[in-house]
A = this chain, B = another copy of it.
Amino acid sequence: MTASDPGELDFWSFVELANRRLAREYGFRHQLATELLLTLNRASNIVTYDLEASVHRPRGLSWSGFRLLFVTWLAGPLESKKAAELTGMSRAAVSNLAKTLVSDGLLSREAGSRDGRSVLLSLTDTGHQEMVEVFRVHNEREDEWAGVLSPEEQRILIMLLDKLVTNRDQFDVRGRN
């Protein structure tokens, strides 16, 4: 199994080819790490793209828009800063996104009382209704994806992904502002 014909290359034979060349021709040593991160990146992109394209875009929401509304729905009212942390976006992204969601009538902003600089995000009634409906579809789709794995496998996967990112204080990781 050489997979050297580029015409036949799919993702897996590419990873195999890449590993072989990186090791033999260039002497790189951390093949398994490369394979892991390529696979992680790819899996996340595929799933995310599908959810966005099949569930959210048709209803006029972007993936980020959904994520912001999602955390606001379940943990709101939330300070903008907190929303950025939970969604993994930058503060600037939340600010921009909030502007459009407010003008769509889904999100509402009011000044924070505790801290005069802060802004509290919460859902409007329309936003709340919309989330309940969108999430119904979203959750079914999630289950189709996850259903490929047994509950036990899902739990292991969650545990490993968590372990991968929570021990990151052991070295100096670059995160968003």
Contact = CB atoms under 8 A, between A and B. Distances in A.
Interface of A: 6, 9-12, 14, 17-18, 21-22, 26, 28-30, 32-37, 39-51, 53-54, 70-71, 74-75, 77-79, 82, 85-86, 88, 132, 135-136, 139-140, 142-149, 151, 153-158, 160-165, 167-168, 170-171, 173-176
Contact of A41 (B12, B21, B30, B44): B44
Contact of A28 (B136, B147, B167): B136
* Copies of the polypeptide in the assembly: 2
Q: How would you classify the secondary structure of chain A's contact residues: helix, strand, loop or mixed?
A: helix
B165 A21 contact: no
A157 to B, nearest CB: 5
Contacts of A135: 22, 26, 28
Contacts of A154: 32-33, 36
